[in-house]
Structure 1
Amino acid sequence: MRHTPPRAVEVHKALLAHFGPVDWRPSLPPVDELVSTILSQSTTDGNRDRAFERLKARFGSWEVVRDGEVAAIEEAIRVAGLARQKAPRIKAALQFITDRRGALTLDFLRRMPVEEARAWLMQMKGVGIKTASIILLFSLGMPAFPVDTHVHRTARRLGLIPPNTNAEKAHYLLEAALPPETYLDAHLNLIRLGREICRARKPDCPRCPLRAMCVYAREQGSGGARE
């Protein structure tokens, strides 16, 4: 029988009560999500989206991107930053999929257990556990819990994971701490909490709907001290 720690569920319910259910639907096919997530590294959502649209407009298909020149890919995605790192990663990832599957598709991952599908994705250079989990959850609708910097910070402050837990281990701990059907709402609401209230610097603890159950707020006297 699955044991669900009540604290994590309590946090999830409190965030739902405060922010409401997330209005979100899968919008990108898995390969698109892969490219978009690589582009998202160390940039804003807006710059990621602009780079993604420019890449698609310039090349037309992922097959053309795969077979294209790295320099041309770099130019198309420059707005997202780190183009010299991201362009060869995108090209290599698309080639990796083609070499192993004979076509540019990741739909076959739906038939795998989550851990097997995540491990398959993580064979690609530049695809870590967060990127793999994003693809599985958001594009394929599989029960994976991505941990970005906001989720990592808020989960540690709330005491959902030990203070020294690294981001990779946090994925597995949070997956064990919540029912799979809550992953999408919990993930997005923790991100919203981290962006709007539980900021890295000067968190607004007095305004936080979780302050009564937050380890960090209790230690700081709910004063929102700089971390």
Structure 2
Amino acid sequence: MSDDREPSVNISGGVDGGGVAAEFDPATADTRAERVVDRLGELYWEKTYGGQDAFTCLVRTILSQNTSDKASQPAHDALIERYNAEGVDLARALAEAERSALAETISSAGLYNQKSEVIIATAEWVIEEFGSAVAFDEYVKDEAPETVRETLLDVRGVGPKTADCVLLFAGGRGGVFPVDTHVHRIYRRLGIAPADADHEDVRAVLEREVPAAKCGFGHTATIQFGREYCTARKPACLEDPEACPMADRCEQVGVYPETDDVVDPAEAPEADGTEGTDGRDDHSSA
């Protein structure tokens, strides 16, 4: 297992995202989704996650919303440098931050005025409900995952993907497969989730069909696969049918190499929402 398969900066995992190296046996796979995840493990890394500070992880994920790691990483680093002084609770520091100063600090992340408001409001919520970032971290790691998720989803600016990232990267909860734009696109394009599935529908399919231990690295590796191969507008299969490492596992829903056209899977005329949704891979080779 080589670290050079990982991106140098990846807010969702990778080198800076932490994690502990792991190995999983592909021979045990019995669903299409699991076989795809195993193939991703051959391409990239296999890790289990957990151990990040929950509030820091929450802030990181808010910063990453609707922007790239390239933009959000410097914003995160600048925020930590300015507000995370030794001996100072980060949640309290951000709850007391002046909004314009915070917005300037995180300006590289995009939507910085909106995100600064959300971060301050979230920090105020943490202080009010838990008293400190440390207590919030204990809650995330000790409480039942479904309870933590419900609690986080009640917070303004925290959606399912953000809540699930906190559960995965901070709480180390197995069976959590956060769904971002890459994951949402790819598993519908592959034909594993229904073409018209929303983010929560895709999450339900993946968490049902992928073993709990593989969900974390499945999420991070899918993101990298989406950046390198299965991009939104120019998937690798348009240039060369054999260029994509998932060519033999993909139904190419919404992708038309013969005309060089790509549409959202939900807009594909042949998609009826029933193909490939049971997850079983009885017909394909390992």
Matched, 1:7 2:22: no
Separation in 1 of the partners of 2:102 and 2:149?
26
Q: Which amino acid aligns with 1:70?
A: R
Q: Map of 1:1-227 to 2, 5 A cutoff?
A: 6-17=31-42, 19-22=43-46, 26=50, 28-59=52-83, 60=85, 61=88, 62=90, 63-104=92-133, 105-143=136-174, 144-205=176-237, 206=241, 207-216=243-252, 220=256, 225-227=261-263
Separation in 1 of the partners of 2:98 and 2:45?
43
1:23–1:183 Cα change, 3 Å: closer
Give the structure with the larger helix fraction. Answer: 1
Paired positions, count? 223
Q: Contact 1:203–1:225 at 8 Å: present in 2 too?
A: no
Task: After TM superposition, give the deviation of residue 200 of structure 1 in Å.
Answer: 0.8
Q: Provide structure 1 residue ranges, at least 5 long, that are not aligned to the other structure.
A: none
Instruction: Give the % identical residues.
Output: 33
Q: Which amino acid aligns with 1:141?
A: G
User: TM-score with structure 2 length normalisation?
Assistant: 0.72
Q: Contact 2:141–2:170 at 8 Å: present in 1 too?
A: no
User: TM-score with structure 1 length normalisation?
Assistant: 0.89
Q: Which amino acid aligns with 1:209?
A: P
Counterpart secondary structure, 2:183: helix
Q: Which amino acid aligns with 1:42?
A: N
Counterpart secondary structure, 1:216: coil
CA deviation string 1:193-215 (max 9, x = no partner): 21111111121122112111211
Q: Contact 2:48–2:217 at 8 Å: present in 1 too?
A: no
Task: After TM superposition, give the deviation of residue 113 of structure 1 in Å.
Answer: 2.2
Separation in 2 of the partners of 1:218 and 1:52?
35
Separation in 2 of the partners of 1:106 and 1:56?
17
1:99–1:57 Cα change, 3 Å: same
RMSD of aligned alpha carbons = 2.3
1:123–1:106 Cα change, 3 Å: farther
